[in-house]
């Protein structure tokens, strides 16, 4: 589950996002009864083998491909972190990337393409971050961006974020200077480093590349010299388009995902700290949104973007509880809770959340139970 807290002895690395608010275009969702799922779906809950049953352990699914293969990571009772793949049959394979240390670091798959190649982060005994690819046959490739010097013990290094159908991998790397740079890894292994011209080069500034579509268009965030965050889109020719959020000259931080339609989505934060979801059309029209919840929303974490433009994530309410939501391209939004999730307020506003959707409309998500253990689920259209 997305959190600002560190739940176990190593940093809780949700590398998918360093992640963003403005004049809000409020939606008018229908809130379904707690403990239910939206009409038209059935829910399948699952846990990976070896999933822990202690607080903050469990199964965290974050991506699904067009063939219904789900990937994510599993945290065991010793807080060791391992990758997993779940197949449509229900079979689950757990794996560790070569060189990863499950306890000091771990294996964190973050994306999977149609061919079944998973990409993610492997953290070694020295707390150095490396990228990895695992193909459908189980063969691994571990790689680092050229010239990266992360030092040791910093949990810095090469951080792949997404892979497209062609096998192009996009991500970012950070060295010991704490400046971020984008990279694009071609299917033949060649890595191109890129930086948005608007970036700053101070501590925690730079270019944060988060997503790539099948055409090779990249979306991400750029932190300018004054510390402001902006969205960016990088074309296949290397041209940059920056975009701002309603009412803001810059955000405190933002995320950015892009689909094959050229729709961009994510979340952004104002300097006051309120977090909103947003979608941006291929033509550049940006709409901020805050799903309505009975107790009032306090943050919107938009983690996923479907092929059809569905925005997916979690909305936190004033009672410190999180609820899953689906926002369709027409603005209709469904907010709901899943069976067995925690239903009382908690310091991290956990509950349920959605992370990804495939071409068949299958949605992957997570929930945390009353014992603060994480479980994953699929919403399957009926």
Q: Which residue has the tokens 């510390």?
A: 227
Cβ within 8 Å of residue 357, ≥6 positions away: 64, 304, 305, 306, 307, 308, 310, 312, 363, 364
Domain of 320, in residue numbers: 30-190+285-381
Q: What would the pLDDT profile of 273-315 be if each residue is shown by its tens digit?
A: 899 999 999 999 999 999 999 999 999 999 999 999 999 999 9
Please report, for the chain, how many H helices and E strands are present, in that order. 0, 30
Q: Looking at per-residue confidence, does 45 or 5 come out higher?
A: 45
Q: Check if the beta carbon of residue 313 is closer than 8 Å to that of residue 278.
A: no
Choose the most confident range, by mean pLDDT, from 10-14, 30-34, 62-66.
62-66
Q: What would the pLDDT profile of 8-24 be if each residue is shown by its tens digit?
A: 333 333 333 333 222 22
Using pLDDT thresholds of 50, 70 and 90, give the confidence band for residue 26.
Answer: very low
Q: Calculate what percentage of the chain has a pLDDT beyond 70.
A: 91
Cβ within 8 Å of residue 232, ≥6 positions away: 196, 198, 207, 219, 220, 221, 222, 240, 241, 242, 243, 256
Closest listed residue to residue 32, CA positions, set 338, 239, 250? 338
Cβ within 8 Å of residue 224, ≥6 positions away: 198, 199, 200, 205, 230, 250
Cα 36 to chain centroid, rounded: 24
Asked if residue 31 has pLDDT above 50, the reply is no
277 domain residue, yes or no: no
Asked if residue 49 has pLDDT above 80, the reply is yes
183 domain residue, yes or no: yes
22 secondary structure, DSSP code: -
**What is residue 1's predicted lDDT score, i.e. its pLDDT?**
54
Phi, psi of 13 (to 5 degrees): -95, 100
Reported as type and span, the H/E element at residue 366 is strand 363-368
Q: What would the pLDDT profile of 342-377 be if each residue is shown by its tens digit?
A: 999 999 999 999 999 999 999 999 999 999 999 999
351 secondary structure, DSSP code: B
134 domain residue, yes or no: yes
* β 156-163/128-134 pair status: parallel
Q: Looking at per-residue confidence, does 285 or 31 come out higher?
A: 285
- Residue 320 burial by Cβ neighbours in a 10 Å radius (0-12, 13-18, 19+): middle
Give the integer Cα–Cα distance in Å for 237 and 217: 9
Cα R_g (the chain), whole angstroms: 19
**What is residue 250's predicted lDDT score, i.e. its pLDDT?**
80
203 domain residue, yes or no: no
8 domain residue, yes or no: no
**What is residue 135's predicted lDDT score, i.e. its pLDDT?**
98
Q: What is the CATH number of the domain that holds 345?
A: 2.120.10
H-state helical runs in the chain:
none
Q: Check if the beta carbon of residue 97 is closer than 8 Å to that of residue 140.
A: yes
Give the integer Cα–Cα distance in Å for 294 and 332: 17
Q: Write down the mean pLDDT value for the chain.
A: 90
- For the chain, the distance separating the N- and C-terminal CA atoms, rounded to the nearest angstrom, is 27
**What is residue 3's predicted lDDT score, i.e. its pLDDT?**
36
271 domain residue, yes or no: no
Number of domains composing the chain: 1
Q: Check if the beta carbon of residue 131 is closer than 8 Å to that of residue 121.
A: yes
101 domain residue, yes or no: yes
Cα separations (Å) of 364 from 91, 313, 329?
16, 10, 18
Full DSSP string of 215-247: T--EEEEEE-TTS-EEEEEE-TTS-EEEE--TT
**What is residue 231's predicted lDDT score, i.e. its pLDDT?**
97
Asked if residue 268 has pLDDT above 60, the reply is yes
Closest listed residue to residue 221, CA positions, set 285, 187, 268? 268
376 domain residue, yes or no: yes
Q: What would the pLDDT profile of 149-195 be if each residue is shown by its tens digit?
A: 888 888 999 999 999 999 999 999 999 999 999 999 999 999 999 99
Q: What would the pLDDT profile of 208-229 be if each residue is shown by its tens digit?
A: 999 999 999 999 999 999 999 9
Q: Looking at per-residue confidence, does 14 or 102 come out higher?
A: 102
**What is residue 5's predicted lDDT score, i.e. its pLDDT?**
30
Reported as type and span, the H/E element at residue 323 is strand 322-327
- The pTM score is 0.91
Cα 52 to chain centroid, rounded: 22
The Cβ of residue 372 has, within 10 Å, a number of other Cβ atoms equal to: 17
The Cβ of residue 132 has, within 10 Å, a number of other Cβ atoms equal to: 25
Using pLDDT thresholds of 50, 70 and 90, give the confidence band for residue 198.
Answer: very high
**Average pLDDT of the segment spanning 28-55:** 79
Using pLDDT thresholds of 50, 70 and 90, give the confidence band for residue 50.
Answer: very high
């Amino acid at each position: 589950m997305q959190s600002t807290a560190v739940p176990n002895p190593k940093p809780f690395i949700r590398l998918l996002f360093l992640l963003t608010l403005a004049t809000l275009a409020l939606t008018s969702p229908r809130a379904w009864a707690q403990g239910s799922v939206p009409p038209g779906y059935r829910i399948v809950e699952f846990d990976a083998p070896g999933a822990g049953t202690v607080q903050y352990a469990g199964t965290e699914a974050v991506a699904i491909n067009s063939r219904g293969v789900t990937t994510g990571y599993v945290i065991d009772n010793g807080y060791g972190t391992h990758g997993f793949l779940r197949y449509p049959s229900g079979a689950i394979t757990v794996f560790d990337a070569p060189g990863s240390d499950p306890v000091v670091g771990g294996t964190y798959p973050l994306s999977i393409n149609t061919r079944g190649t998973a990409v993610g982060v492997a953290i070694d005994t020295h707390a150095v971050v490396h990228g990895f690819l695992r193909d459908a046959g189980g063969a691994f490739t571990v790689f680092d961006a050229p010239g990266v010097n992360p030092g040791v013990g910093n949990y810095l290094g090469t951080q792949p974020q997404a892979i497209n159908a062609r096998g192009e991998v996009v991500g970012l790397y950070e060295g010991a200077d704490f400046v971020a740079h984008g990279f694009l890894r071609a299917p033949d292994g060649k890595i191109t480093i890129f930086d948005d011209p608007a970036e700053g080069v101070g501590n925690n500034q730079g270019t944060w590349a988060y997503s790539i579509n099948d055409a090779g268009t990249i979306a991400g965030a750029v932190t300018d010299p004054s510390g402001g965050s902006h969205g960016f889109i990088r074309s296949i020719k290397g041209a940059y388009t920056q975009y701002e959020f309603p009412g803001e000259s810059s955000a405190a931080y933002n995320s950015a995902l892009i689909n094959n339609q050229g729709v961009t989505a994510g979340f952004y934060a104002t300097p006051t700290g309120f977090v909103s979801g947003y979608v941006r059309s291929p033509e550049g029209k940006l709409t901020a949104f805050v799903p309505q919840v009975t107790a009032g929303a306090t943050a919107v974490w938009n983690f996923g973007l479907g092929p059809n433009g569905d925005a997916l994530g979690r909305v936190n309410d004033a009672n410190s509880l999180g609820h899953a939501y689906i926002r369709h391209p027409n603005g209709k939004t469904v907010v709901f809770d899943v069976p067995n999730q925690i239903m009382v307020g908690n310091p991290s506003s956990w509950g349920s959340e959605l992370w990804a959707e495939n071409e068949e409309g299958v949605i992957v998500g997570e929930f945390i139970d009353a014992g603060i253990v994480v479980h994953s689920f699929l919403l399957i259209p009926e």
